[in-house]
Amino acid sequence: MFDKLEDILQRFEEVLNALAEPDVTNNQERFRQLMKAQNDMLPLVEAYKAYKTAKQTEEDSLSMLEEEDDAEMRQMLKDELAGAKEDIRRLEHEMKVLLLPKDPNDEKNVIVEIRAGAGGDEAALFAADIFRMYAKYAEMRHWKVETMNSNENGIGGFKEIVFMINGQGAYSRLKYESGVHRVQRIPVTESGGRIHTSTITVAIMPEAEEVDVQLDMNDCRFDVFRASGNGGQCVNTTDSAVRLTHIPTGIVISCQDEKSQLKNKDKALKILRSRLYELEQAKQHDAEAQLRKSQVGTGDRSEKIRTYNFPQGRVTDHRIKLTSHRLDAILGGDLDEIIDGLIAADQAAKLLMVQDQ
């Protein structure tokens, strides 16, 4: 590990020297690559430098303890030694985590698909609640939310809603949200006051660029139709809605939220690229069984991952057995407690896998 860290430290110094060259900004592509390399390496370099400082403190304290006779001074040195050892343990773990292979999609934007499952109108209302939860979480992190397509049920719920979250690191935070979300509550549509259980499915996909997916437009069929639902006169009186069919896979995507047919077509293509990219990733994951074992329930739409229990005011993530009694705060977008727990569990599983190899 330490040979690799020394190599990274040397590479970091080379990047800093290159960035200090007077004409570095003349080549903007090279400049961007250097800045990205610097930012990618900086956390690990800082941790390694802090580790080396702590190791030096440990050595100095041990050396001085051998020569020191004063009781008060020896106690100070022992405290300093204990602090250095604690820093070494913490930094060793931090560096191991930072050395884990990076998910190439982590810095990408995400496309989120939420669909009502079992529970009829109540499931659609819950889908709207979860959409608002993610929208508020995005707002807290200064990310932008853009609706791609939606299908309302007439009472404020969504049978389906597809939206994009634009923001640095969006996928790294939200990729664990894919799966079945379950709600237990008394529906507003229930006159008898009985608790019902309803479900929705959430799919999180990294936004795929044209370079990620080679899309043959001859494989795509576009149909236009008149938009329906709440869209205003301009939307509902022109053939602005677009239905995209990808012939080889049978994937069908409809977009009607924009007044412009061209904009709806562009959004449909973005969704298609991300779905095709997700399909390709799923094939790779299936071929790498060990990698699948290290994942904390990412990408599996059929897995029941979380329950939102309204009578008891609690949220339980079943993958990491985390229960929080902050239901209102979580639905208000305060997701970091759960997401941080999922990231920590995923990192721990991957560290164990690395140690076993």
Mean pLDDT, 10 residues at a time, over the chain (357 residues)?
86 91 88 88 92 93 88 90 93 87 87 91 94 97 92 88 93 94 86 84 87 83 76 54 91 86 90 88 63 47 85 95 96 95 90 67
Query: What pLDDT does 211 receive?
Result: 66
Q: What's residue 237's pLDDT?
A: 54
Predicted confidence at residue 1, as pLDDT, reads 78
Predicted pLDDT at 111: 93
List, by residue range, all CATH 3.30.70.1660 domains of the chain: 110-349
Q: Where do we find the tokens 């298609």?
A: 272
Does domain 2-98 fall under CATH 1.20.58? My reply is yes
Query: Which residue, chain included where needed, has tokens 């006051």?
Result: 193
Q: Does domain 110-349 have CATH number 1.20.1600.10?
A: no
pLDDT (0 to 100) of residue 294: 47
Residue span(s) of the chain under CATH 1.20.58 come to 2-98
Query: Tell me, what's the pLDDT at 290?
Result: 47
